[in-house]
Amino acid sequence: MKKVYKKNRKPCYLHGLLAIMAWSNPVFPQEDTNMANAANTETINSEAVTQAQQGNYDLAITRFKTVVSIQDQNVAATYNNLGYTFLLKKDYPNAIENFKKAIARNPVLVPSLANLGKALYETNQYKDAVFYGEKVIALNPPNAAVRVWLPDAYKKAAEKRMFELENLKDTNANTKKTDESIDPNAEALQNGKKPPSKIELAGLLETAWDHANKKLVWYGPHTTIPFPVTLSTDIWASPTIRISGEIKNPNMGVSLPYFITSEESLGIIFHSKKFFYGVGFYFSQANFTYDTVPKVGRFIQNSSFPARSDSKIGFIFGFQKEFSSFLFSIYPRQLFQDAAVGPQSIEFDRTLSKIEYRAVYPEKKGSFIPTHFELAAGLKTNEFFITEYTPATTGVTTGHYIGWYDLYIDMAFGKIKPRFDTVPMQFGLLMGSRFYFEDFNNTKPFVPGNGQGFAGIKAQLGKSGLILEPPAFKAVSLLIDVYFKQMFYSKMILMEKIGTEIPAPGQPANAFSAGLSVSYTF
C-alpha cells in the first residue's frame, strides 16, 4: 500500500495577518464560519493521513476535502482583497480577474460577487453585472451596496440589447468578413446592399503670421462668409449608384491668391463589388479683384472683366476591396492654345487631379500596431491657367500659370463604429509637402504649354522638337494636420482639426488653422 505522508508545515504568520486583514476590511462585512476552522486544518490533515493508512479511504477523502475547502476559502479572501485594491485604482480588468478567481474558490462569497458585479457595471457589461447582482440578492437580500447600481444595470442591459438589435448588420453566410476588418461601404457592396449615405458640413478658421509686419493676418476667401465652409453630400441612390456633391468657398494656402470665390462639384459613380467608375462635373468661380500674390503683386492687368468661371467634366475610377482601395480622378485641362476672342477679355481654366491608395489594418493582438489602423498615401494637384487678351494697360496678350500639388500621408488610429454607452473616437495625423509653382506675364501664351504649363512642367516646340522645362517652383511648404473624430448617437460624427502650413525660409507667412465638421449618416 502506498503511504500517504503527513505534510510538515510551520506556522505562517503572514497568512494569519492576511486573514485578519480580510475580515477586518470593510470589504467583508460578514464573518465566514469556515475561517474559524483555519487553525484546525493541520489537525484535520493529520487525521486524514491516519485514516488513509488504516484503510478508511472514504473517511480520509472526506477529511482531505474539508482541508481543501477551508484553504480555498482563505485564498478566496486574499483574491477578493487583491481585486478590491485594483477596483480602488479603477483597474477594472485586473479587478474582474481576481474577483473571478475568488468566486471560483468560494462560489458563495458575497463580497466578491458584489464587487465583481460592480466592476462589470462600471465597464458597461450590464448583462453580466445583473447576473452577479442577482446572485448577491439571493444570498443576502438586504445587501445595500448592490441595490445602488442593480436597478440601473437592468435598465442599461435592456437598452444595450435594443441598441444591438437596431444596429445588427445582415451578413452573407458565404463571406468571412467582420465589421471590424472591413470598410462599411465595401461590406454593403459585397452583400448587394446600399451603403449608408452621408451629409457633412465643415468650417475652417485660418490665420497666418506675417513675418514682415510682425502680426497675425486673416487668411480667408473674399465672400459673404469670411472663412472657408464646405457642404458635401454622398447619396447612394441604389446599391450600385452613388451621387456625390460639394459646395464650398475654399482656402488656397499662404502662397496663392484668394481669387477663387466658390466651387461646386457633382459626381455620378457606378459601383460593382470591386470596381467603380463615373463622371464628375466641376464648377469654379473666380474674382480677379483679389489676385494679390505674396512677393509678386497683382498679376491680372485687365480690370474690365475681373470675374470669370470655369466648367469642367472629369473622370473618376478605382477599386475597393476588403482591406484596400484605390482612387483616381481627373478634371483635365482644356485651355491648351486659344485664339484671341477680343480686347480686354480673360480666359480662365482650371485642372484638378487626385491619386490615392488607402489600406486598412484590422486590430490584431500581438501586431505592430495593436489597434485598428488606416493608412492612405496620395497626390493632389490644383492648377490655374489664365490668359489676358490685349489688356487695356499694355495691349499685349499675356499668360499666367499658378498652382500647387500635394504629396501626403494620412494615418488614422481607431475605428469609428457604433458602441453602446461610450463615444467611439479616432485619432488622425495628416502630413504632406506642398509644391507651389507659377509663371506670370508670359507674352507667348499661344505656344502650347508656354506660360501655362502642366503639372509644374512647361513645354514648347523648338527647332529640335519638343522642349520640356523643369517645374517653375515658387515655394515648398510642410503641411501638418491633427484631427479627432467622435461618433454620437450611432449616426453623427464630429471632427475637430488643427493644422499648420510651414513654408520654406523666405516666404511671407506661416499659416495656422482650426476646423470643425459635423457629418450625419442615414
Spell out the SS3 assignment of 129-193. Answer: HHHHHHHHHHHCCCCHHHHHHHHHHHHHHHHHHHHHHHCCCCCCCCCCCCCCCCCHHHHHHHCCC
Per-residue confidence (pLDDT) for residue 20, from 0 to 100: 28
d(CA 187, CA 417): 14
Q: Tell me if 257 sits within 8 A of 293, measured CB to CB.
A: yes
Per-residue confidence (pLDDT) for residue 245, from 0 to 100: 97
What is the arithmetic mean of pLDDT over 431-454? Answer: 78
d(CA 405, CA 256): 12
Per-residue confidence (pLDDT) for residue 273, from 0 to 100: 83
Residue 325: C-alpha distances to residues 175, 354, 431 (Å): 19, 14, 20
- My answer on whether 189 and 326 are in the same domain is yes
Q: Tell me if 258 sits within 8 A of 281, measured CB to CB.
A: no
Judge whether residue 459 has pLDDT over 60: yes
- My answer on whether 91 and 220 are in the same domain is no
Buried b / exposed e along 152-184 (16+ C-beta atoms within 10 A): ebbebbeebeebeeeeeeeeeeeeebeeebbbe
Judge whether residue 495 has pLDDT over 90: yes
Q: Which domain holds residue 97?
A: 13-166
What is the arithmetic mean of pLDDT over 62-83? Answer: 73
Per-residue confidence (pLDDT) for residue 247, from 0 to 100: 96
Instruction: Using alpha carbons only, give the angle 378, 329, 231 rounded to the nearest 5 degrees.
Output: 90
Task: Say which range, 186-190, 281-285, 347-351, has the weakest mean pLDDT.
Answer: 186-190
Task: Say which range, 41-50, 202-211, 386-395, has the weakest mean pLDDT.
Answer: 41-50
Per-residue confidence (pLDDT) for residue 23, from 0 to 100: 34
Count CB-CB contacts under 10 A for residue 124: 14
Q: Which residue has the higher pLDDT, 147 or 291?
A: 147
d(CA 253, CA 206): 9
Q: Which residue has the higher pLDDT, 345 or 148?
A: 148
Q: Which residue has the higher pLDDT, 441 or 326?
A: 326
Identify the CA nearest to 228 among candidates 201, 255, 209: 201
Average pLDDT, the chain: 80
d(CA 250, CA 408): 19
**Sequence letter at residue 235:** I
- My answer on whether 296 and 336 are in the same domain is yes
What is the arithmetic mean of pLDDT over 484-502? Answer: 93
Spatial neighbors of 459 by CB under 8 A, at least 6 apart, are: 448, 449, 450, 453, 466, 467, 468, 469
Per-residue confidence (pLDDT) for residue 437, from 0 to 100: 86
- My answer on whether 188 and 239 are in the same domain is yes
- My answer on whether 159 and 202 are in the same domain is no
And the C-alpha cell for 8? 510538515
pTM of this prediction exceeds 0.85: no
- pLDDT grade, residue 315 (50/70/90)? very high
The answer to whether position 8 is within a domain reads: no
The answer to whether position 458 is within a domain reads: yes
Q: What is the DSSP letter of 7?
A: P
What is the arithmetic mean of pLDDT over 195-220? Answer: 87
Instruction: Check which CATH number belongs to the domain holding 280 and give it.
Output: 2.40.128
**Total domain count for the chain?**
2
Last residue of a domain, one of 111, 136, 166: 166
Which among 175-179, 237-241, 292-296 has the top mean pLDDT? 237-241
Judge whether residue 86 has pLDDT over 60: yes
d(CA 75, CA 63): 19
- pLDDT grade, residue 382 (50/70/90)? very high
- My answer on whether 254 and 325 are in the same domain is yes
- My answer on whether 124 and 269 are in the same domain is no
d(CA 501, CA 481): 9
- My answer on whether 80 and 127 are in the same domain is yes
Per-residue confidence (pLDDT) for residue 11, from 0 to 100: 38
Judge whether residue 32 has pLDDT over 60: no
Per-residue confidence (pLDDT) for residue 378, from 0 to 100: 98
- My answer on whether 96 and 209 are in the same domain is no
Local structure of 33: helix, strand or coil: helix
- My answer on whether 246 and 392 are in the same domain is yes
Which among 238-247, 343-352, 507-516 has the top mean pLDDT? 238-247
- Percentage of the chain with pLDDT > 70? 78
The answer to whether position 179 is within a domain reads: no
Per-residue confidence (pLDDT) for residue 17, from 0 to 100: 29
The answer to whether position 1 is within a domain reads: no
Per-residue confidence (pLDDT) for residue 3, from 0 to 100: 41
Judge whether residue 227 has pLDDT over 70: yes
Task: Say which range, 53-62, 98-107, 184-193, 406-415, has the weakest mean pLDDT.
Answer: 184-193
- My answer on whether 91 and 234 are in the same domain is no
| CA 162 centroid distance within chain | 26
What is the arithmetic mean of pLDDT over 170-192? Answer: 53
For residue 377, what are the β-bridge partners? 357, 409
Per-residue confidence (pLDDT) for residue 53, from 0 to 100: 74
DSSP string, 328-374: EEEE----SS-----TTEEEEEEEEEEEEEEEEE---TTSSS-S-EE
Instruction: Check which CATH number belongs to the domain holding 151 and give it.
Output: 1.25.40.10
Residue 481: C-alpha distances to residues 141, 485, 512 (Å): 57, 13, 10
- My answer on whether 132 and 231 are in the same domain is no
d(CA 162, CA 164): 5
Which among 19-28, 202-211, 349-358 has the top mean pLDDT? 349-358
In total, the chain counts a number of residues equal to: 522
